[in-house]
Amino acid sequence: MNQAEDIKSKLDITEILGEYISLRPAGSNFRAVCPFHQEKTPSFMVSPEKQIWHCFGCGRGGDIFGFVMEMEGLTFGEALRVLAPKAGVVLKQEDIEVSSKRSRLLDAMEIARDYYHRQMLGNEAIKKYLKDRGLNEETVRNFKIGYSPESWDDVINLLRGKKFSDEEIFLAGLSIKKEGTGKSYNRFRDRVMFPINDAAGQTIGFSARINPNNSTPEAEKTGKYINSPQTQIYDKSRVLFALDKAKQAIKQNNLAIVVEGQMDAISSHQHGFINTVASSGTALTAEQVKLIKRYTNNVALAFDADSAGQMAADRGIKEAMEAELDIKVIVIPSGKDPDEVLRHNPAEWEAAVKDAQPMMEYYFAKVFSTVDLSQAAEKRLAAKKILEMIVKFKSKIESDHWLKRLSQKIDIDEGVLRETIGTIKQPEPANVSRKMLADDRISLKESREEKLSLLLLSLILKYPDLVEYVVNNMTGEQLAGAANRLFYNQLIIYYNTNRALEYHDFRAHLESLDPALAKQLDALSLLADKDFAEADINSVKSEIIKIIVQLKKIDLKNRMSEIEKKIAQAERSGDKALMAQLMQDLKLQTEQSKELDI
């Protein structure tokens, strides 16, 4: 009996599937609503005798491994890893599937996570910091919070001793290559480590907070938090922090509470709100919304009261509406974040969750709290904001209901509003880059930073020897345009995996992911030839350096502009502590901007 058969023989398919979906007896079998397509009448059947499942609505079916692979988006080897501990089976390292490239990276991350956790348990200063943040020992152990020592190579040497190559350590996102030397050093040094797991509980990345006892200027410049880079196993847009621990509670409560920060999620779990996940400081993405829909159609969003938090809430709401989720908004008391409320008054947070407002009620209150309806211009602006939300409803019943409400609120004929809503064009969803044709992406309408981003991509495609230089000198986030960032991430993952960038192989790879990406590759390849067909590599590198500097300057300028807006807002509200912090942030950004002018 091989390992897969051994695992299957020791597990009951109804128990495993019952962790994900609600099974109801149907004779000697069980029935459920299929989790893989929209249906109201259950057509998903499970046979305990045969240990198989099949959906007569969408045609999917298989065994216990097939279900976990479909549900969690895993390979067969990864499904083995998830199910083996449940069956009490110890996997053999020589298993071909388990020793795949992806699984090797997961193994490296697990070893690093456990090492960081052990280092934290032996560091009294870090333990005190976590205790002062209100975390008890059980929570710290449950989330495997760790500490990366102030060392340049301890994790690298640890993994080398476990037979991992330097390349595997780099591909896992645990090391950085020193340009021009072939040497590597630890990515994370002197930081509190928060493991990021996928929905199956496998560690795929880290969020690393600077040691609170480290106040050196060098430490401040590296950022309070740094995260794992995009890798073969980690894509931040497809991960919800703490989902592996929250998914069963989400299903049981038929509700997912979504907060911004990882500490918000950790504190929520410690105080009993286990159906909480974090978007890790960004707006909800379409991929994250799909994760939530596996377990519930109900979501309560809790984002900070500052402008960035509200923007994230708005974008998250729009993604959730696209997926037809039932959305509520948690209004955080006193403008605090969930972690702060939970530490000082858990009952206040419990009441806030209980009193979460239906999304459109929240928008009505938010929009009309700031307008004077006696002024025609303000009435028009308020109506436009509400109509932009109503137009997103796929249900005509819901849209009609809110049009009537708006008509009554602003005393405007409903027919006029219906004419107006017909002129409102829905903005493209955040993931529109996957659907756009390459010819649409490269046009005369691009902004300056988008044109620079396109040129940079085209140059590294033509001169792949310069890929590492670009990776070591800028981040994908500094590129303009979601389509360009998506393409860049795929390019880097492919290059790091293959250590080469051969056009036909790369195109075949992109075609398998999304034909639009392959078309974008075609256009970008032609763009580089247009102006740099005869250029030598030195002049190209010089051009790339100029582009990177310009993109960094634009990125810093945008950040400084956002900070200045927040400073003005803090000044109006009289929040001196926030103003001081924002002024310090602005100073750091200004210093970085000056360095680029050298």
Do 221 and 106 share a domain, yes or no?
yes
Q: What sign has the CA pseudo-torsion 161, 162, 166, 170?
A: negative
Q: What is the pLDDT of residue 207?
A: 94
Q: What is the pLDDT of residue 303?
A: 67
Task: Write the CATH number for 276.
Answer: 3.40.1360.10
Q: What is the pLDDT of residue 442?
A: 37
Residue 429 burial class via C-beta count within 10 angstroms: exposed 0-12, middle 13-18, buried 19 and up: middle
Q: What is the pLDDT of residue 320?
A: 81
Does a structural domain hold residue 276? yes
Do 242 and 360 share a domain, yes or no?
yes
Q: What is the pLDDT of residue 429?
A: 42
Does a structural domain hold residue 404? yes
Do 385 and 497 share a domain, yes or no?
no
Count of structural domains, the chain: 5
* Tokens, residue 84: 């083996």
Do 243 and 337 share a domain, yes or no?
yes
Does a structural domain hold residue 430? no
Task: Write the CATH number for 75.
Answer: 3.90.580.10
Do 218 and 244 share a domain, yes or no?
no
- Hunting for tokens 């299929």 — which residue is that? 34
Q: What is the pLDDT of residue 428?
A: 46
* Tokens, residue 587: 């100073």
Does a structural domain hold residue 593? no
Q: What is the pLDDT of residue 164?
A: 94
Taking the chain (598 residues) in consecutive chunks of 10 residues, what is each chunk's mean pLDDT? Answer: 81 90 84 85 84 83 89 82 88 56 90 97 96 96 97 96 94 89 89 94 94 74 83 90 93 92 95 94 81 88 60 68 85 79 91 91 86 86 86 83 90 86 59 35 58 89 88 86 89 86 83 83 69 78 90 85 86 84 82 67
Do 62 and 105 share a domain, yes or no?
no
3-state secondary structure of 214: coil
Q: What is the pLDDT of residue 110?
A: 95
Do 351 and 407 share a domain, yes or no?
no
Task: Write the CATH number for 388.
Answer: 1.20.50
Q: What is the pLDDT of residue 135?
A: 96
Residue 490 to residues 169, 287, 310, 345, 512, Cα–Cα distance (Å): 19, 16, 30, 45, 12
Q: What is the pLDDT of residue 527?
A: 67
Residue 8 sits at the vertex; the CA angle it makes with 5 and 10, to the nearest 5 degrees, is: 110
Which of 438, 455, 443 shows the shortest CA–CA distance to 550?
455
Does a structural domain hold residue 264? yes
Q: What is the pLDDT of residue 335?
A: 63
Range of the domain at 216: 101-234
Do 275 and 354 share a domain, yes or no?
yes
Does a structural domain hold residue 429? no
Does a structural domain hold residue 266? yes
Task: Write the CATH number for 132.
Answer: 3.90.980.10
Do 138 and 162 share a domain, yes or no?
yes
- What does the alpha-carbon distance between residue 178 and residue 218 come to, in Å, rounded to a whole number? 18
Do 404 and 504 share a domain, yes or no?
no
Residue 463 to residues 114, 479, 538, 546, Cα–Cα distance (Å): 40, 18, 11, 16
Do 394 and 515 share a domain, yes or no?
no
Does a structural domain hold residue 320? yes
Which of 364, 381, 411 terminates a domain? The answer is 364
Which of 36, 52, 87 terminates a domain? The answer is 87
Which of 234, 260, 280 terminates a domain? The answer is 234
The answer to whether 450 and 433 have CB atoms below 8 angstroms apart is no
Do 319 and 341 share a domain, yes or no?
yes
Q: Which residues contact residue 294 at a Cβ distance below 8 angstroms, ignoring those fewer than 6 apart?
A: 20, 35, 71, 199, 247
